[in-house]
Each structure stands twice: as C-alpha cells, then as structure tokens.
C-alpha cells in the first residue's frame, strides 16, 4: 500500500474502533533527543548492558551504575515531548478505550499529557530502596550524593527493570489484557526484540486485532503486521489524527 493510502486507512481504523492499544519504544523519543538502544548511535553500541543494566552489575559497582543513570537523567531532563508523544496524548482523548504501553523510562509520555502510561520497564525518575519498601520520585539532576541513600540507611537503586529481572507483574497483566482486548494495536519506534514487550503486538493479533507498525526501518515483526508505516513517528502519528 502506498504510504498516503496506508495513513488514510489507519486514520479510519482509529476513528472506527473503540479499543485501541499502543506500544512505544525508544524510537518515539528519538526526535526529542533521547538516545535509542540499538541504532547506529544506540546506547548498547557504546556501553555493555552487562556492566550497567543488570542486578549483578549493581551489586559489583553501584557507583558506576548510578553514574550512568545520572548521566541519562541529565540528558532526559533537557528534552521535551515531540509531536509523536503529543499525538498519542490526543489519541487517548479521542478513543473510547485507549491503553498506552511503553518500554520507555524517560517519562515523556507523562509530560505530553498521557494519563496512565503502563511503564513496562520502570521510570528513570523513580528510585527504590534495596532493603525496605521505600519507593520515591526524585528529579534532582545531577544527583547528590551518588549513590543516593534511603532514610533507612540502605542504598537506593533506579526503579528500572534490568536484564534478568521480571517486569512489574501488575503492569504486565494490564498490558497483556489490553493487547488481548484491543481491536487495533499500534507498535511504534521499537525494534521488537525485547520480550515480553515484543510479544504484545502478536498477542493482540492472535486475539483478532489489526496491528500497525510505525518505524524508520523494518523490524523483527514487520513481516507479521497488517500495515507498516515507515518514517519518523513525530511526523507520522500527527497525520493519523488529521
């Protein structure tokens, strides 16, 4: 399908369906200036996830891990939502039953006005205690002291899902249910390589949803989606509402 025609088809689908779910990945924030993970400039090209984003790495060298998150927080603090984030916040107002699921930890969907994004991988502005049940929001940039400490005297850790850790079960359940019940599922700016997030579009499709992908390039699931819109999400998503 020609892109113009595909955009018009998806625009109609959004208008005609009651239950729409969306999964976003790092690509939606790329136009805001937040680095992605796997592209040519991606974080995992420059850093080893094993050294920075695993529980073992944190146990070995919490200061190094915290320095890396402090640096990422300082990048995100300088950014703002782009037209892609804003279009999804608007879509939420137009669709009867809308669920936004994100793998992103940057918080830009919240800033854009999305009400309750389901954050599968945590939030870079949250911390939790390594010993007690304390969990808090902290927007200080740069962090001081580093590593930050809990009132109970133990170290705080980023409230992020690291490799080898489980996703927050309640959030994953809600995302799974939204995928199963969706009539239309949009998957935006993700390489669709990290599971279980990457399973959600396929769960939706098996349950009867139409699946639309928005990405700069083909991904692991492009062959399986119903419509693939190739281009920057900040340009394509606003057109889906026009």
Q: What are the residues binding ligand OAD (CB under 6 A)?
A: 25-27, 30-31, 36-39, 42, 53, 103, 121, 161, 189-191, 193-194, 214-217, 219, 232-233
Which residues make Cβ contacts (< 8 Å) with residue 81, sequence separation at least 6?
32, 89, 108, 109, 111, 112
In sequence order, the β-bridge partners of residue 76 are: none
Q: How far is the CB of 181 from ligand OAD (least distance, A)?
A: 23
17 carries an active-site annotation = no
| Burial 206-217, CB ≥16 within 10 A → b, else e | eeebbbbbbbee
Q: How far is the CB of 89 from ligand OAD (least distance, A)?
A: 17
Phi-psi region of 153 (alpha: psi -120 to 50; beta: other; left: phi over 0): left
Q: How far is the CB of 125 from ligand OAD (least distance, A)?
A: 14
Residue located via tokens 């394509």: 236
- Measured from each CB, the residue nearest to ligand OAD is 27
Closest Cα partner for 236 from 82, 118, 94, 104? 82
Q: How far is the CB of 153 from ligand OAD (least distance, A)?
A: 28
Which is closer to ligand OAD, CB of 216 or CB of 227?
216
- Report the alpha-carbon angle 78-79-82, nearest 5: 165
Task: Answer whether 146's CB lies under 8 Å from 68's CB.
Answer: no
Q: Which of 2, 85, 121, 195 is catalytic?
A: 121
Which is closer to ligand OAD, CB of 96 or CB of 166?
166
Which is closer to ligand OAD, CB of 55 or CB of 181?
55
Which is closer to ligand OAD, CB of 80 or CB of 152?
80
Annotated catalytic residues are: 121
């Amino acid at each position: 399908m020609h892109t113009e025609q595909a955009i018009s088809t998806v625009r109609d689908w959004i208008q005609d369906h009651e239950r729409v779910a969306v999964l976003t990945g790092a690509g939606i924030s790329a136009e805001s200036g937040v680095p992605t993970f796997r592209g040519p400039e991606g974080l995992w090209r420059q850093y080893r996830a094993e050294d920075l984003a695993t529980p073992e790495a944190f146990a070995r060298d919490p200061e190094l891990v915290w320095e890396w998150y402090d640096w990422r927080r300082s990048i995100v603090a300088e950014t703002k939502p782009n037209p892609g984030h804003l279009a999804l916040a608007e879509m939420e107002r137009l669709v009867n039953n809308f669920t936004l699921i994100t793998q992103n930890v940057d918080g830009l969907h919240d800033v854009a006005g999305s009400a309750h994004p389901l954050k599968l991988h945590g939030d870079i502005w949250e911390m939790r205690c390594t010993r007690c049940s304390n969990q808090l929001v902290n927007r200080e940039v740069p962090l001081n002291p580093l590593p930050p400490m809990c009132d109970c005297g133990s170290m705080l850790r980023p409230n992020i899902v690291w490799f080898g850790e489980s996703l927050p079960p309640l959030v994953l359940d809600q995302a799974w249910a939204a995928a199963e019940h969706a009539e239309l599922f949009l998957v935006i700016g993700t390489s669709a390589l990290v599971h279980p997030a990457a399973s959600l579009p396929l769960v939706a499709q098996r349950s009867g949803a139409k699946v639309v992908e928005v990405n700069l390039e083909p991904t692991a699931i492009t062959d399986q989606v119903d419509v693939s819109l190739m281009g920057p999400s900040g340009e394509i998503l606003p057109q889906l509402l026009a």
